[in-house]
Amino acid sequence: MPPTITAFERSPDGGKGLARDTRVRWALEEVGQPYEVRLVSFKAMKEPAHLALNPFGQIPTYEEGDLALFETGAIVFHIAQTRAGLLPKDAHARARAIAWMFAAVNSVEPPILELQNALLLERDKPWAAERMPAVKDRIRDRLRQLSVALGDAEWLDGAFSAGDLMMASVLLRLRASGLLDEFPTLAAYVARAEARPAYSRAFAAQWDVNKPAGG
């Protein structure tokens, strides 16, 4: 029985691949693991059956036999831990790849989520325009540091890993803001990630669900 993940019945991003199921689809494609998808509506996500899988009422979730998991980072880690292809075998290199996974979700993504809140939830507030530069500058600080850490390397630490998968996925959220393009090194890094066949397959799979009618 292949694992089953959940995804939005209709993603709020209209198929840009920014919903978090794309991260899990990508991980599954990288390791060559077939999977099934159960689509859930916004309404169903807040109902007991889904809350039993994810207490925060979000997608994706992951079910495989007796195991039920939530949290994208944890699901990607579980896939990487149980299949070959996303984490180095060497124990130290593996620990460093995991460090980049946590860096993606705890050092880089939080200021990006703050921008998202500013754009989605506070766009009509009187402070929206005046507050925006500082929100963006907090992201720029992180991108500058990340750009230095990457240097002219292809990936963050040796071969492509779950750390790169998570980091590129987080950075992708910035493209529409223009902030990613301010850091050509990082824009090129994300483009390399998107060029991976596994990413293309993951993107196509979510597009198939979310593309506009007639798209």
Q: Which residues bind a copy of itself (CB under 8 A)?
A: 51, 55-58, 66-67, 69-75, 77-78, 81, 92, 95-96, 98-103, 105-107, 109-110, 113-114, 117, 121-122, 125-127, 130-131, 134, 138, 142, 145-146, 148-149
Tell the smallest beta-carbon distance from residue 95 to a copy of itself (Å): 5
Please, which residue, 114 or 182, has the CB nearer to a copy of itself?
A: 114
Asked if 29 contacts 202 with a C-beta cutoff of 8 angstroms, the reply is yes
Q: Whole-angstrom Cα distance, residue 54 to residue 46?
A: 9
User: In terms of C-beta distances under 8 Å and separation of at least 24 residues, what long-range contacts does 139-142 make, across chains too?
Assistant: 139/111, 139/112, 139/115, 139/174, 139/179, 140/179, 140/182, 141/111, 142/107, 142/108, 142/111
The DSSP letter of residue 182 is: G
Please, which residue, 15 or 60, has the CB nearer to a copy of itself?
A: 60
Please, which residue, 71 or 207, has the CB nearer to a copy of itself?
A: 71
Tell the smallest beta-carbon distance from residue 123 to a copy of itself (Å): 12
